[in-house]
Amino acid sequence: MQSVELQIVQGLLGLLSLAGTAGVAYVVPKVKTFMDARLSSEQATVANSVIDGLGNIAEAVVQEFNQKVVASAKQYGTFTPTLAQSVKQDAIEAVMSQGSGLIALGGEALGDVQKLVSSLIEKAVAENHIPTQQNSAG
């Protein structure tokens, strides 16, 4: 049981590198919640912590990809369904890589983690949608 606790704490604290100072306010209560509830609902807590952690990573990845790829492509009219699918796949791979510790921890409890990550990416995209802009240069 201590091994699972250590993995959760390490996984959640790893989010601090992505979230910066604001992440402390998020991560610390999650760690405390886990410690308080581990005896009665360890699997549910693990699953919720993994989902929350991967959701935060997905949010950060989508924001970064929006800044680096999507906004420019939409501005210049080069954002196509093919590019959108490619960016989404790259985002999934980035979340899977950055959240590998959480994925290892939650894989058994959550099942198809890649499908979960894909859903979290979709949610983050919807929350951070960049409208298509008309290129007025001409």
pLDDT in tens, 7-30: 655 555 454 444 444 444 454 456
Q: Considering the entire predicted model, what is its pTM?
A: 0.66
Helix spans in 15-131 (H)? 16-19, 21-65, 71-75, 81-98, 100-110, 113-127
**71 within a domain of the structure (yes/no):** yes
Domain that holds residue 34: 2-127
**116 within a domain of the structure (yes/no):** yes
- Residue 39: left if φ>0, alpha if ψ -120 to 50, beta else—which one? alpha
**121 within a domain of the structure (yes/no):** yes
Q: How many domains does the chain have?
A: 1
**93 within a domain of the structure (yes/no):** yes
**137 within a domain of the structure (yes/no):** no
**133 within a domain of the structure (yes/no):** no
Asked if 126 and 59 touch (Cβ cutoff 8 Å), the reply is no
**90 within a domain of the structure (yes/no):** yes
If we measure between CA atoms, which residue out of 31, 98, 37 comes closest to residue 62? Answer: 98
First-residue to last-residue Cα distance in the chain: 64
112 confidence band (pLDDT: 50, 70, 90): confident
The predicted pLDDT at position 19 comes to 46
pLDDT tens digits along 29-87: 565 565 455 534 677 677 778 888 998 999 999 999 998 899 889 888 898 999 999 99
**135 within a domain of the structure (yes/no):** no
93 confidence band (pLDDT: 50, 70, 90): very high
The predicted pLDDT at position 3 comes to 57
